[in-house]
Amino acid sequence: MVTMEDVARLAGVSKMTVSNVVNNREGVSDLVRRRVLEAIRQSGYRLNVSARSLRSGRTGVIGLAVPEVDLPYFSHLATLVIDAARRRGHHVAIERTGAAEAGEADALAHSRVLQFDALILSAVVLDGLDERLTGAGCPVVMLGERDFGGRFDHVAMPNEEGMKAATVHLADQGCRRIGIVSGVPREGVNVMTRRYRGYLDGLAERGLSADPPLLFPLDGMTMEAGRDAAHRMVDSGREVDGVVAVTDTVALGVLRGLADRGLRVPDDIRLIGFDDVPESRFLVPSLSSVAPDHRWMAEKAVELAVQRVRAPLRPAEEHVAPFELVIRESTR
């Protein structure tokens, strides 16, 4: 392995000068710099990141913990985070948490092992996370779902506002019996409860009743769960003329489930999702959706992460992503 020492010898300078050149530091004469660069080229030298990290205490890696990499929403988000980080000279290591508390706790444990400079945590369910977070061994930025009373940097989704807008939109399209396909709202603040609240707000805004609630519960946040929920919805015989799905991925399953029962969207029933994942505009029918500005979210999360590495003691910030309602065939 070629080290700085070797390069230094080859260029006839000291190790330290090579280091200065490699790190683009001031105070190296042009002549020497050129000589060093040439020596680096000739020798095929490569910086040893482990050594640098050991010395500097920084790894240049930001962790991104998501429930599943292969759900469109998260993979899309991951892409954007990777880009945003790269622009700031950082790398991203993705942790899969599996949407379970165990997994999310695990990701934190791993963040210790892998020594991220910061961890961006897209937490869905984890309760009682707070105590553990403080022991993560690196700054944590919450992305998406939860509210931690201002103790952590937090990039929030417009969960309530978005869901409210979606529900109002369905009402304005003439729907009178609007159902929701979602996880059962649990105690504490999480994506399910917030979106469910937004749905209720939307109903209230248009004077529609939520009693008895038309909640069709979801077993997981997958396409499969969405399809099954749609089956149960139709089979229950309860009349529904519009559905808000808690995510686009779930909505994709609902679309399939409705087709299985011979119901057409939007003719028989209207459907709207949340996230505006890339495939939504290509589905048949194309899927209306609440579209948070994902790029903005990724950018902000990485920005917060990088800032906090530099200044660990700044007060925590909370930001809510902007969104727009994208109207497509499924609610026409």
Partner DNA sequence: TTGTAAGCGTTATCAC
Partner DNA sequence: GTGATAACGCTTACAA
* Site residues for a copy of itself per CB under 8 A: 44, 46-51, 53-54, 59, 61, 68-70, 72, 75-76, 78-79, 82-83, 91-94, 96, 110, 112-115, 135, 137, 223-224, 227, 252-253, 255-256, 259, 278-279, 282-284, 286
Residue closer to DNA, measured from CB, 23 or 174: 23
**Which of a copy of itself, DNA, none does 24 bind, CB closer than 5 to 8 A by kind?**
none
Q: Which residues pair with 155 in a beta bridge?
A: 143, 319
Cα 25 to Cα 21, 49, 259, distances in angstroms: 6, 18, 63
What are the DSSP calls for 230-278, one per residue? HHHHHHTT---SEEEESSHHHHHHHHHHHHHTT--TTTT-EEEEES--G
Q: Residue holding tokens 């984890």?
A: 126
**Which of a copy of itself, DNA, none does 188 bind, CB closer than 5 to 8 A by kind?**
none
d(C-alpha 17, C-alpha 36), whole Å: 8
d(C-alpha 320, C-alpha 216), whole Å: 27
Decide: is 31 part of the binding site for DNA (CB under 7 A): yes
Chain residues 166-195 in contact with DNA, contact rule CB under 7 A: none
**Which of DNA, a copy of itself, none does 42 bind, CB closer than 5 to 8 A by kind?**
none
Burial of 57 (0-12, 13-18, 19+ CB in 10 A): exposed
Residue closer to DNA, measured from CB, 58 or 314: 58
Interaction mask 35-74, DNA, x per CB under 7 A: ----------xxxx--xx-xxx------------------
Q: Residue holding tokens 């919805």?
A: 233
Containing 289, the helix (H) or strand (E) segment is strand 288-292
Strands 323-326 and 288-292 come out as antiparallel
Residue 10 CB, nearest distance to DNA (Å)? 12
Residue 193 CB, nearest distance to a copy of itself (Å)? 27
Strands 118-121 and 270-274 come out as unpaired
Decide: is 24 part of the binding site for DNA (CB under 7 A): no
Helix 248-260, helix 223-235: angle, nearest 10: 40
**Which of DNA, a copy of itself, none does 131 bind, CB closer than 5 to 8 A by kind?**
none
Measured in degrees and rounded to the nearest 5, phi and psi for residue 104 equal -70, -35
When binding is defined by CB under 7 A, the residue of 10, 17, 167, 294 that contacts DNA is 17
Interaction mask 72-91, DNA, x per CB under 7 A: --------------------
Residue closer to a copy of itself, measured from CB, 59 or 288: 59
**Which of DNA, a copy of itself, none does 78 bind, CB closer than 5 to 8 A by kind?**
a copy of itself
Decide: is 100 part of the binding site for DNA (CB under 7 A): no
Give me the residues that bind DNA (CB under 7 A), please: 1, 3-5, 12-17, 19-20, 22-23, 27-29, 31-33, 45-48, 51-52, 54-56
